[in-house]
A and B are shown apart, each in its own frame.
Chain A
Amino acid sequence: MGTRTSAVAREAVIVGVAEAALVDGMLATPMSPLQVQAKMAHAALKEAGLSLRDVDGLLTAGMWGVPGVGQLPTVTLAEYLNIVPRFIDGTNIGGSAFELHVAHAAMAIERGLCEVALITYGSTQKSERSRTLGGRPATLTMQFETPWGLLTPIGGYAMAAMRHMHEFGTTSEQLAEIAVAARKWAMLNPAATQRDPLQIADVLASPMISDPLHLLDACLVTDGGGALVMTSAEHARTLGVKPVYVRGFGEAATHWTVAAMPDLARLTAAEVSGRNAFAMAGISHDAIDVVEAYDSFTITVLLTLEALGFCQRGEGGQFVSAQRTAPGGAFPMNTNGGGLSYAHPGMYGIFLLIEAVRQLRGEAGARQVIGAETALVHGTGGTLSSGATCILSGR
């Protein structure tokens, strides 16, 4: 089959990224969600040699300003930036939305619907103390979930972990391996929020929140802001920047209520999106040098690795053992420290992409994966509800 390089005359590339500096998980400079998105847009565009004047595609998803102007985030952001985008995508499928946005922006650029696409995210959830474990309003499908007092989002992930342990014998120690490996990467990343050494025993000794998941099986709660700029490969050449190519992508969604998940021990959305992304890229798993996989919880990563086919179903626990995903391990993953140790501002997906771009440009400093040419980025949204995969390449 033909790869995208030969099939697509006008190829979309990523040419700029930016992320907001955090101190103790809060924006280093206090900003509103709109303010931080504008600042990050400015920085990412500047990196690409572009300005807001060039932007004609706008994609965003967020949880800010709801109820209120955040209900129409693309429209509100277009107004705040004072741009008139001719391609707009505000699709929100949870934290994986930004992988979907890269895919949709790529299609729009390739079809000539826009020339420069801007993808943004902003959250001040930690500064505002707006994060809660409480349920969602018990309307429509939530009539059958909210009355039971399930902690959200951890409760659903906990039930998935419990089921995976039951079916495959996965252990808490194996899940903890993922958190420890993420911390080792974070210790190499000056921008990461949690950089103190972490042992498997520390994870197991941290408070149980929702059996079998401990506090340190869960991602951080931080602020965050990020932006990503895409254009055509042709345009990128005139800008003189090193482009990152979008070789393949896929997306899928299966459920929102936990009881409706097709199989609690199996990440169906990632199976679908991953299969499509690999087929489009025309490459095998061996060609992936670095993986950025959404780590809302340790179990998320384990299910993702199985669903994407990096190991067999049920073998995720063994796969991540002996610090395989840590610096120096055979399978470099979540190289900025991930949602577990770098930052997790509610929806984390854009930061997976930013880190992959930095790795593929060779700009990751002490945490650089040597010779990284191809990266797989996978976002998971909701309660294992949605998935979106991007395969990116520096060449």
Chain B
Amino acid sequence: MYEKPLPVIDPDTAPYWDALRQHRLLLKRCLDCNRFHFYPRALCPHCYSDSLEWAEVSGVGEIYSYTVARRPAGPAFKADTPYIVAVVALDEGPRMMTNIVGTAPANVQIGRRVAVSYDDVTDAVTLPKFKMTDAIMPGK
């Protein structure tokens, strides 16, 4: 049984979480200024237009910043410690918080390329985690 906190999905965010269950990363894009944003909102945070659509994104980007949690954020995270929490900048622009998985904390660096990796944590929720895709930099 999955014991970590799960998103409480609401009408604003249901299409996002529905798409993740199908292993698609669906963000909102503004039909006026053409820019993507994240998390999904009712108004474009760039130009304040209400003319928005859902559009699939590449799921690739780079690490904007990160930290290594040496203590768990609650008992459910204890077995994972230390784990990597990061903010990833997608190539389409928006930043999102995530976990970097499949590597040791010592390998993580700001600027490393990453790609989405879908983690079906329950029947209802798939979390978009990220894996590093470029070679480990020399000296790291």
Contact with B along A232-276 (1 / 0, CB 8 A): 000000000000000000000000011110001000000000000
Q: Which of B39, B77, B105 contacts A143 (CB 8 A)?
A: B39
CB <8 Å contact, A144 and B5: no
Nearest-neighbour CB distance to chain A for B74, whole angstroms, equals 4
Nearest-neighbour CB distance to chain A for B123, whole angstroms, equals 16
Nearest CB in chain A to that of B13: its residue: A143
A24 partner residues in chain B, CB cutoff 8 A: none
Q: Which of A138-164 contact B (CB under 8 A)?
A: 138-141, 143-152, 155, 158-160, 162-163
Count of interface residues, chain A, beta-carbon cutoff 8 Å: 38
Count of interface residues, chain B, beta-carbon cutoff 8 Å: 36
B86 partner residues in chain A, CB cutoff 8 A: 159
Q: Which of A134, A147, A162 contacts B65 (CB 8 A)?
A: A162
CB <8 Å contact, B96 and A151: no
Nearest CB in chain B to that of A213: its residue: B67
CB <8 Å contact, B73 and A135: yes
Q: Which of B88-127 contact A (CB under 8 A)?
A: 95-99, 105, 110-111, 127
Most chain A CB neighbours (cut-off 10 Å) among B7, B8, B10, B65? B65
CB <8 Å contact, B68 and A135: no
Nearest CB in chain B to that of A159: its residue: B65
> Contacts A149-B80, A259-B96: A162 and B67 contacting too (C-beta < 8 A)?
yes
User: Complex formed: what's the CA distance from A163 to B73 in Å?
Assistant: 21
User: Complex formed: what's the CA distance from A319 to B85 in Å?
Assistant: 30
B8 partner residues in chain A, CB cutoff 8 A: 137-140, 143
CB <8 Å contact, B110 and A141: no
B38 partner residues in chain A, CB cutoff 8 A: 144, 259
CB <8 Å contact, A138 and B5: yes
Q: Which of A162, A210, A212, A257 contacts B97 (CB 8 A)?
A: A257
Q: Check B57 for interface membership: any CB of A closer than 8 A.
A: no
Most chain A CB neighbours (cut-off 10 Å) among B13, B67, B69, B71? B67
Q: Which of A138, A150, A163, A260 contacts B85 (CB 8 A)?
A: A150
CB <8 Å contact, B73 and A133: yes
User: Complex formed: what's the CA distance from A210 to B84 in Å?
Assistant: 9
Nearest-neighbour CB distance to chain A for B7, whole angstroms, equals 4
B9 partner residues in chain A, CB cutoff 8 A: 143
B105 partner residues in chain A, CB cutoff 8 A: 211
B residues lining the A interface (CB < 8 Å): 4-10, 13, 38-39, 64-74, 77, 80, 83, 85-87, 95-99, 105, 110-111, 127
